[in-house]
Amino acid sequence: MSTDTHIVAYVQESDFDSVLTESEEKVVVVDFTATWCGPCRLISPLMEQLAEEYKGRAKVVKVDVDSNKPIFKKFGLRSIPAVLIFKEGVLIETIVGVSPYEQFSEAVQKLVADA
Protein backbone atom coordinates (compact mmCIF):
# COMPACT_ATOMS: atom_id res chain seq x y z
CA MET A 1 0.00 0.00 0.00
CA SER A 2 1.34 3.41 -0.95
CA THR A 3 1.88 5.93 1.82
CA ASP A 4 1.95 8.78 -0.68
CA THR A 5 -1.44 10.45 -0.49
CA HIS A 6 -0.46 13.41 -2.61
CA ILE A 7 -2.50 13.37 -5.78
CA VAL A 8 -1.79 16.97 -6.68
CA ALA A 9 1.26 17.11 -8.94
CA TYR A 10 3.72 19.95 -9.34
CA VAL A 11 3.98 21.49 -12.80
CA GLN A 12 6.84 23.52 -14.21
CA GLU A 13 6.54 26.71 -16.19
CA SER A 14 7.42 24.89 -19.41
CA ASP A 15 4.36 22.62 -19.00
CA PHE A 16 1.99 25.26 -17.64
CA ASP A 17 0.28 26.33 -20.85
CA SER A 18 -0.24 22.78 -22.05
CA VAL A 19 -1.77 21.83 -18.67
CA LEU A 20 -4.26 24.68 -19.08
CA THR A 21 -5.16 23.99 -22.68
CA GLU A 22 -4.69 20.26 -23.15
CA SER A 23 -6.20 18.84 -19.96
CA GLU A 24 -9.22 16.67 -20.61
CA GLU A 25 -10.81 18.53 -17.70
CA LYS A 26 -11.97 21.98 -18.75
CA VAL A 27 -11.39 23.42 -15.26
CA VAL A 28 -7.84 23.68 -13.90
CA VAL A 29 -7.02 24.79 -10.36
CA VAL A 30 -3.45 26.03 -9.83
CA ASP A 31 -2.06 26.32 -6.31
CA PHE A 32 0.95 28.67 -6.20
CA THR A 33 3.00 27.54 -3.22
CA ALA A 34 6.48 27.28 -1.68
CA THR A 35 8.12 24.90 0.75
CA TRP A 36 8.91 27.71 3.23
CA CYS A 37 5.35 29.10 3.27
CA GLY A 38 3.45 28.13 6.43
CA PRO A 39 -0.03 29.19 5.23
CA CYS A 40 0.56 27.19 2.01
CA ARG A 41 0.80 24.05 4.13
CA LEU A 42 -2.63 24.83 5.53
CA ILE A 43 -4.32 24.84 2.15
CA SER A 44 -2.38 21.89 0.74
CA PRO A 45 -4.81 19.31 2.22
CA LEU A 46 -7.70 21.39 0.86
CA MET A 47 -6.23 21.12 -2.64
CA GLU A 48 -5.96 17.34 -2.19
CA GLN A 49 -9.59 17.23 -1.09
CA LEU A 50 -10.61 19.36 -4.08
CA ALA A 51 -8.73 17.04 -6.45
CA GLU A 52 -10.57 14.05 -4.96
CA GLU A 53 -14.00 15.66 -4.99
CA TYR A 54 -13.73 16.90 -8.58
CA LYS A 55 -11.72 14.03 -10.03
CA GLY A 56 -12.48 13.77 -13.75
CA ARG A 57 -14.14 17.20 -13.76
CA ALA A 58 -11.34 19.51 -12.62
CA LYS A 59 -7.57 19.15 -12.58
CA VAL A 60 -5.65 20.45 -9.56
CA VAL A 61 -1.92 21.23 -9.85
CA LYS A 62 0.73 23.08 -7.84
CA VAL A 63 3.40 25.52 -8.96
CA ASP A 64 6.47 26.08 -6.79
CA VAL A 65 7.00 29.85 -6.98
CA ASP A 66 10.70 29.60 -6.13
CA SER A 67 11.48 27.66 -9.28
CA ASN A 68 8.84 29.34 -11.46
CA LYS A 69 9.09 33.07 -10.66
CA PRO A 70 8.21 34.36 -14.16
CA ILE A 71 4.85 32.59 -14.15
CA PHE A 72 4.11 33.94 -10.68
CA LYS A 73 4.80 37.47 -11.91
CA LYS A 74 2.88 36.93 -15.15
CA PHE A 75 -0.34 36.74 -13.13
CA GLY A 76 0.59 39.77 -11.01
CA LEU A 77 0.76 37.72 -7.83
CA ARG A 78 2.57 39.19 -4.84
CA SER A 79 1.80 36.75 -2.06
CA ILE A 80 1.13 33.08 -1.52
CA PRO A 81 -0.79 30.92 -1.10
CA ALA A 82 -2.59 31.95 -4.26
CA VAL A 83 -5.03 29.67 -6.01
CA LEU A 84 -5.94 30.48 -9.61
CA ILE A 85 -8.89 28.79 -11.26
CA PHE A 86 -8.96 28.52 -15.04
CA LYS A 87 -11.64 27.33 -17.41
CA GLU A 88 -10.60 26.35 -20.93
CA GLY A 89 -7.30 28.18 -20.41
CA VAL A 90 -8.88 31.44 -19.25
CA LEU A 91 -8.28 32.74 -15.70
CA ILE A 92 -11.68 33.02 -14.03
CA GLU A 93 -10.96 33.40 -10.34
CA THR A 94 -8.04 34.18 -8.02
CA ILE A 95 -8.17 33.33 -4.31
CA VAL A 96 -5.22 34.70 -2.33
CA GLY A 97 -4.46 33.67 1.23
CA VAL A 98 -5.86 30.93 3.42
CA SER A 99 -9.54 30.41 2.71
CA PRO A 100 -12.07 27.83 3.85
CA TYR A 101 -12.53 24.75 1.67
CA GLU A 102 -16.01 25.95 0.69
CA GLN A 103 -14.60 29.00 -1.06
CA PHE A 104 -12.47 26.79 -3.33
CA SER A 105 -15.14 24.14 -3.89
CA GLU A 106 -17.88 26.68 -4.66
CA ALA A 107 -15.68 28.43 -7.21
CA VAL A 108 -14.90 25.10 -8.92
CA GLN A 109 -18.51 23.88 -8.66
CA LYS A 110 -19.75 26.97 -10.53
CA LEU A 111 -17.39 26.26 -13.41
CA VAL A 112 -17.92 22.51 -13.70
CA ALA A 113 -21.68 23.09 -13.58
CA ASP A 114 -21.38 25.28 -16.71
CA ALA A 115 -19.02 22.90 -18.49
Q: What is the pTM of this model?
A: 0.91
66, HSE (Cβ side, Cα atoms, 13 Å):
5
Amino acid at residue number 71: I
d(C-alpha 72, C-alpha 25), whole Å: 23
The domains of the chain, with CATH numbers, are 9-114 (3.40.30.10)
Residue 109: the pLDDT is: 97
Active site residue 114: no
Q: Which of 15, 34, 37, 57 is catalytic?
A: 37
Q: Which of 8, 11, 40, 83 is catalytic?
A: 40
Torsion angle (degrees, nearest 10) of CA 4, 46, 87, 64 = -60
Residue 19: the pLDDT is: 93
CA 71, 64, 10, 68 torsion-angle sign: positive
- The pLDDT tens digits of the residues spanning 11-59 come to 999 999 999 988 889 999 999 999 999 999 999 999 999 999 999 999 9
Active site residue 37: yes
